[in-house]
């Protein structure tokens, strides 16, 4: 793809720039001439790459991409900058604000059957400390290493989500947590959630033995259907994956948190 | 909101810069001093606004926003630049490419019941000539003026969508067009589609008398349900609005084309 050519071009440019820096004896006018001819091209390539990676990220967030295993290599810096800069936090906050406006706008019945469903990872808890060590999605997912990280129980809260979570509870919603984590991780998940500040959920649903091998879309749809069969009304659903939100027994409104680091089908 | 303060700040900055330009008699060092102090702040404000508007656009494209009538005033330039620059075209092209990969990957049955559903406006046909005259979404939707534009029948094709449309037909899909336009606009819509290069669709469904007043989500869901009742399998669906894609009888896969200019519930 075109990405690769840009990547190659930029590598060559950076090599040639480095070589110039290693040659302090070159007459000064030559350096200026070289920089003048390289800089606009370099800037253009950086802009082009930003544009391409921005377009890739939009495709991720709108669920247009086919299942993918890692972020494009040439977008590694772009994704890191997005996550570690202000944009990711700003996007997360906006989701909670919009969800909050909706949550306040709906009238709850008196029967305690109005539910908000939350995913856990990258929705309530942040695994950034883990992903920072693994290239922000550049490495193929390693379930052994990730489970080790989960077992530490030290994932911090996404602050804007915690605030929204507390708001939802205070409005009188029942809160159901529906996670792709396995039943064996229940106690460490409970401990982690509590130490991160989450309390008073009504249900924590994890993958049981019978759910292994199912796609997240199917597993979560089945669990939502069971909630609906139990008489609950799913008014809101928050998740960072479309597989948290789509399928059967969908919520009245769904809120997609940003996540350009990984994809779960 | 914070937007407004930035907007105000930038207006003041641009006024002060203009006033400087109107004063050619000022001693030169003073101008330089002023520019040096303003430029970093100005650049920062421009960056901040870009970040905020980018975050707003992501919320639009992921369907997180509450129904909205116009784009935020402070994002007018941002949206215009997005649409008229390379990003919009690049995003459109990526949707068609991804949809094309999926379309090629599915195996069609021999019974001619495999369907791809397309929306029309901002999916196959582009109303950019109209929206360019109306602030790219900055003005409240004016159905009388828009219908006048539609009646001209001169909306151009979105080129990447036309190419994809032809690919879908050549793979053997049946193509159903499902538009929010009204039945009275049938003949002008047919003429416009044909003159823009679209041919050989199997059905063109428009809003009948009984559909007026329904949300697009409900109207399109009902029409899709009727397709399914007719034995058709909706394997793909392309639309620029989430109301083209969500609801009942949803497609196996949906493709969301970008559109930061307007929202249809």
Element (H, E) at A165: helix A159-171
What is the predicted pLDDT for the residue at A36? 62
pLDDT digits 0-9 by tens, B185-220: 999 999 999 999 999 999 999 999 999 999 999 999
* CB within 8 Å: B95 and A254: no
Q: Are the beta carbons of A162 and A198 closer than 8 angstroms?
A: yes
Per CATH, which fold does B87-256 belong to?
Rossmann fold (3.40.50)
Q: Residues of chain B whose C-beta is under 8 A from some C-beta in A?
A: 51-52, 54-56, 58-59, 61-66, 86-87, 90-91, 94-95, 98-99, 101-102, 105, 254-256, 258
B32 compared with A179, residue with greater pLDDT: A179
Question: CA B131 to CA B113: how far, in whole Å?
Answer: 37
What does DSSP assign to residue A246? Answer: -
Question: CA B49 to CA B64: how far, in whole Å?
Answer: 20
Question: CA B77 to CA B53: how far, in whole Å?
Answer: 10
* CATH code for residues A89-256: 3.40.50.1000
What is the predicted pLDDT for the residue at B75? 98
* CB within 8 Å: A91 and B61: no
Q: Among A229-243, B24-38, B243-257, whose mean pLDDT is lowest?
A: B24-38
Q: How far is CA B100 from CA A56, B83, B162, B234, B237, in A?
A: 16, 23, 12, 15, 12
Instruction: Tell me phi and psi for residue B238, to 5 degrees.
Output: -120, 130
What is the predicted pLDDT for the residue at B20? 40
What is the predicted pLDDT for the residue at B33? 54
What is the predicted pLDDT for the residue at A24? 44
**How large is the average pLDDT for residues A45-67?**
96
Q: Which residues of A touch B54 (CB under 8 A)?
A: 87
* CB within 8 Å: A87 and B54: yes
Q: What is the CA radius of gyration of chain B?
A: 23
Query: Does residue A25 register a pLDDT over 70?
Result: no
**How large is the average pLDDT for residues B70-90?**
98
Q: How many CA atoms lie within 13 A of A239 on its CB side?
A: 27
Q: How far is CA A32 from CA A38, A117, A222, in A?
A: 10, 59, 65
What is the predicted pLDDT for the residue at A205? 98
What is the predicted pLDDT for the residue at B35? 59
Please report which confidence band the pLDDT of residue B39 belongs to, taking 50, 70 and 90 as the band edges. confident
C-alpha angle B53/B59/B64, rounded to 5°? 150
Q: Which residues of A touch B61 (CB under 8 A)?
A: 58, 61-62
Q: Among A3-12, A89-98, B59-68, whose mean pLDDT is lowest?
A: A3-12
What is the predicted pLDDT for the residue at A152? 98
Query: Does residue A14 register a pLDDT over 50?
Result: no
What is the predicted pLDDT for the residue at A35? 59
**How large is the average pLDDT for residues A112-135?**
98
**How large is the average pLDDT for residues B155-171?**
98
**How large is the average pLDDT for residues A172-177?**
98
A210 token code pair = 């019978």
What is the predicted pLDDT for the residue at A39? 83
What strands, in cross-sheet order, belong to the sheet with B233-239? B203-207, B174-182, B114-118, B233-239, B253-256
Three-state SS sequence of chain A? CHHHHHHHHHHHHHHHHHHHHCCCCCCHHHHHHHHHHHHHHHHHHHHHHHHHHHHHHHHHHCCCCCCCCCCCHHHHHHHHHHHHCHHHHHHHHHHHHHHHHHHHHCCCCCCCCEEEEECCECCCECCHHHHHCCHHHCCCCCHHHHHHHHHHCCCCECHHHHHHHHHHHHHCCEEEEEEEEEHHHHHHHHHHHHHCCCCCCCEEEEECHHHCCCCHHHHHHHHHHHHHHCCCEEEEEEECCHHHHCCCCCCCEEEECCCCCCCCC
* CB within 8 Å: A66 and B98: yes
Which pTM value belongs to this model?
Answer: 0.86
Query: Does residue A2 register a pLDDT over 60?
Result: no
A215 token code pair = 């796609």
């Amino acid at each position: 793809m075109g990405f690769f050519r840009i990547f190659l071009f930029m590598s060559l440019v950076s090599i040639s720039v480095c070589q110039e820096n290693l040659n302090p004896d070159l007459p000064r006018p030559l350096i200026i001439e070289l920089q003048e001819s390289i800089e606009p091209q370099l800037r253009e390539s950086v802009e082009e790459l930003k544009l391409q990676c921005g377009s890739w990220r939009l495709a991720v967030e709108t669920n247009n991409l086919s299942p993918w295993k890692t972020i494009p290599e040439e977008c590694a810096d772009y994704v890191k900058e997005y996550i570690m800069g202000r944009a990711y936090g700003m996007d997360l906050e906006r989701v909670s604000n919009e969800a909050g406006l909706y949550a306040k706008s709906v009238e709850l019945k008196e029967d305690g059957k109005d539910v908000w469903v939350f995913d856990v990872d990258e929705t309530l808890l942040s695994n950034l400390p883990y992903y920072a060590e693994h290239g922000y999605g550049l490495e193929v997912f390693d379930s052994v290493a990730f489970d080790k990280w989960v077992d530490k129980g030290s994932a911090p809260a996404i602050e804007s989500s915690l605030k929204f979570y507390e708001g939802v509870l205070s409005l009188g919603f029942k809160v159901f947590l529906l996670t792709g984590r396995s039943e064996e991780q229940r106690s460490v998940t409970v401990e982690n959630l509590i130490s991160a500040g989450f309390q008073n959920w009504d249900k924590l649903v994890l993958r049981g033995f019978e759910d292994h091998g199912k796609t997240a879309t199917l597993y979560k749809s089945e669990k939502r259907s069971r909630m609906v069969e139990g008489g609950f009304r799913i008014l809101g659903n928050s998740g960072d994956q479309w597989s948290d939100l789509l399928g059967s027994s969908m919520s009245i409104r769904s809120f997609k948190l940003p996540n350009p680091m990984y994809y779960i089908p």
